[in-house]
Chain A
Amino acid sequence: MTRLDLSTPLGLTLALLPEIVLSAWALVVLLVVSWRHRSAEDSRLAGWLSFAGVAVSAAALAALWVNGVTSDGLAQMVALDPFRYGVAAVALLSAGATILLSLGYLERERLLAPEYYPLVLLATAGMMFLGGAEDLIVLFLGLELMSVSVYVLAGFNRANAFSAEAALKYFLIGAFASGFLLYGIALVYGATGTTNLSLGGAQLAGKPLGLMASLGLGLLLIGFGFKVAAVPFHMWAPDVYDGSPTPVTGFMATGVKAAAFAALVRVLMETFPAAASTWQPIVAGLAIASMVLGNLVALTQRSIKRLLAYSSIAHAGYLLAAVWPGTPVGAGAVLLYLVAYSLTTLAAFGLLAWLGRNGERDVTLNDIAGLAATRPGIAFGLTVCMLSLLGFPGTFGFIGKWYIISALVAEGQYALPVIVVLTSVVSAGYYLPIVMAMYMRPAPSADRYSAVRLAPTAAGAIAVAVAAVLLFGVWPAGVLDLAGQSGRTLTQTGVPIAGP
């Protein structure tokens, strides 16, 4: 247990070390690529340098986490608690996997501009600021830093009209959502007189939520709803996920979503714990709509990439169900599910990236028929991913869903768990045909899949992710403990400042 004084320069630097390392590393990589930006080799160099930056940042994060660093007094601007460390770890995991998956992919698709990797680093720094923000200003800036970088990544394949469409849609909807969020922040500031999350919660505690704070809360929920692609704010997601380069889609579906969910949980639990009766029905409504609509529409999709986009909307619904209790257990469940979902989704999009060409928009069930006969490794990996997304026992996805349901039942809520289970059963209707196509249908020709080559880096990253999904599926004790501890630190700790 180490305490850092955030009001001193040294304390602040140490508290923000992972973010500082990552931002500074992005600048160094940019400097390097300003001299070396011609060949595929230069792009690879930038990728490996960026991966090293992620590793160093992860080491700094681990140092903070292992020493149990907390804030000396009220945390200003950034939180210092295991929940922030957990979310930052998910962001770094997502960034590291994305870099490894992109290494060969960018060369194959001829996207050789090496600015790709510094943008991934900057987006990750934004995620870490967003997920760890203890102040609404930092929260907003982190969100924008993340979003601006990801807008560019979505449109990175400039030659492809769908990629340009994805970037433009994401940008316009993202700017729209930021407007809601910013207006909500302004109203919450007006109602509480502070932008600090805990202090704001202290100001709102013990009295009915006023009109200004209610409006602020509502606008914040709409803004976050857009960012996590919850129904009815999801309409941008399928086209954006579909058009973006596939490793970027994986990055968006995991890191971006994780950071936005972390910020949502933190705002609701630190600033609005007293208003739970106001936001719980809204969150429950969003969760149910996302689970039902995401799963039902996914059933009708032919393209696997688009299917995974709708599946990610459904998973936003499961995560919102975990947000509902507003308890430490619920926060732990959100974090655990984010880890499980991120590992699985990164591996799934990673495999998809190697099964197609030109953005993988047209990979359908027919394109993976009989894959298991000639490429058993790829088929096994994709099967594990689909079963984990489905929540099959023995995979990490099952542990995640089980934890969400137990967090809900602990609060005496039974309707949401029933919907989680029922919609998961529905989701078998589109996850299992993928497995069946690979194992039970004949390949169109014997050498149909001989051209499918996984780059060694991508294969390594996917193998590690699949192994982790299986390992934590049968031996979840370690991660469960970590997630439980992280959730417990999320409470409103501020003392009211002198009010009127």
Chain B
Amino acid sequence: MAAFVFYLFAAAAVLGAAMCVLQRNPVASAMWLMSTMFSLAAIFILLGAELIGILQVLVYVGAILVVFLFVIMLLNVARTSSDLRGPASLGATVVVAGLLVVELAALWQYTPRRLAADIAQAPAFADPARVFAAGAAARQATAAQGVVGALAAPLFQTYLVPFEVTSVLLLAAIIGAVVLAKRNI
């Protein structure tokens, strides 16, 4: 059952990503990207990372995509003809795509078991058994404070000041973008 749900969402994610690239209209592209993000969130939840799944929806679908749409609308991106035609661009596309395929093929042989074995043998900065022993550190933190608590305590206590300054920084950036891009809004 879980495998079926996984493949369903995985297929949806790949389809969304492909359509995002293939669409001519930037708004439609953004919408397809949104469906990819939703599918990824579902996969995170299947993996037992509920918080990351929810954050995926909140941050990527809720915030980042809205910003994308804002930018598209503010800049009035006209539907121009693609300047990626021609033999040079085609050659570059084939080369980059080929490299990615080779990389993917190379990754194929890396099973989680082999990865763990490689890391255990390599001279590491940290003790791999403690970092990679089935997520012992993360499990300890989540057992003590819950998934949300393990993240919230550093974010809202130790790093509260940077967190708040970041929000002011983002606000300043938005004001600046609006002032420069559209004065008579």
Q: Are B161 and A122 in contact (CB under 8 A)?
A: no
Closest chain B residue, CB of each to CB of A122:
B172
- A156-B179 contact given A119-B172, A122-B171, A145-B172, CB 8 Å threshold: yes
* A16, B161: Cβ atoms closer than 8 Å: yes
Residues from chain A with Cβ under 8 Å of B169 in the complex = 126, 141, 144-145, 148
Given contacts A113-B179, A145-B172, whether A12 and B160 have CB atoms under 8 Å apart is: yes
Asked if A113 contacts B183 (CB within 8 A), the reply is: yes
Q: Does B168 count as interface, using CB distance less than 8 angstroms?
A: yes
Q: Convert B99-121 into 0s and 1s, putting 1 for each residue whose CB lies closer than 8 angstroms to a CB of A.
A: 00000000000000000000000
Which of B158, B165, B168, B175 makes the CB contact (< 8 A) with A115? Answer: B175
In the complex, A76→B169 CA distance in Å? 20
Interface magnitude class on chain B:
10 to 19
Alpha-carbon gap, A158 to B169, bound state (A): 22
Return chain A residues, CB-CB under 8 Å to B149.
none
Take A138-B161, A141-B162, A142-B165 as given contacts and tell me if A149 and B179 are in contact as well, using a CB distance cutoff of 8 Å.
Answer: no
Interface string of B39-50 (1 = CB under 8 A from A): 000000000000
Contact of A152 with B162 in the complex, beta carbons under 8 Å:
no
Q: How many Å from the CB of B105 to the closest CB on chain A?
A: 32
Is B98 an interface residue when CB atoms closer than 8 A count as contact? no
What is the CA–CA distance of A23 and B165 in the complex, to the nearest angstrom? 9
Q: B166 contacts the other chain (Cβ, under 8 Å)?
A: yes
Chain B residues 131 to 185 lying within 8 A of chain A, measured CB to CB, are 158-162, 165-166, 168-169, 171-173, 175-176, 178-180, 183
Q: Is the interface of A mostly helix, strand, loop or mixed?
A: helix
CB closest chain-A residue, reference B178: A115
B157 to A: closest C-beta gap in Å: 8
Shortest Cβ gap from A370 to chain B (Å): 40
Check A78–B161 contact: CB distance below 8 A.
Answer: yes
CB-contact partner of B161 in A12, A30, A144, A158, under 8 A = A12
Which of A78, A125, A142, A148 is within 8 Å of B173, CB to CB? A148
Residue among B161, B175, B183 making CB contact with A119, cutoff 8 Å: B175
Contact with B along A303-326 (1 / 0, CB 8 A): 000000000000000000000000
Q: Name A138's contact: one of B158, B165, B180 (CB within 8 Å).
A: B165
Q: Is A182 close to B, CB under 8 A?
A: no
| Set of chain B residues within 8 Å of A135, measured between Cβ atoms | 161-162
1/0 per residue A7-21: CB within 8 Å of B?
000001000100000
A107 to B172, CA, bound (A): 23
Q: Which A residues are CB-close (under 8 A) to B165?
A: 129, 138, 141-142, 145
A152 touching B179 in the complex, CB below 8 Å, given contacts A78-B161, A141-B165: yes
Given known A141-B166, A142-B165, contact A158–B180 (CB-CB < 8 A)? yes
A7 nearest in chain B by CB position: B157
Residue A151 at the chain B interface, CB threshold 8 Å: yes
Is the C-beta of A400 less than 8 angstroms from some C-beta in chain B? no
Most buried by A among B159, B168, B173, B180: B168
A138-174 interface (Cβ within 8 A of B): 138, 141-142, 144-145, 148-149, 151-152, 155-156, 158, 167
Inter-chain pairs besides A30-B175, A135-B162, 6 sampled, C-beta below 8 Å = A118-B175, A119-B175, A144-B169, A148-B172, A151-B176, A158-B180
A-B contact pairs, 11 of them (CB 8 A): A77-B160, A77-B161, A113-B183, A119-B175, A119-B179, A122-B175, A126-B169, A129-B165, A138-B161, A144-B169, A145-B168
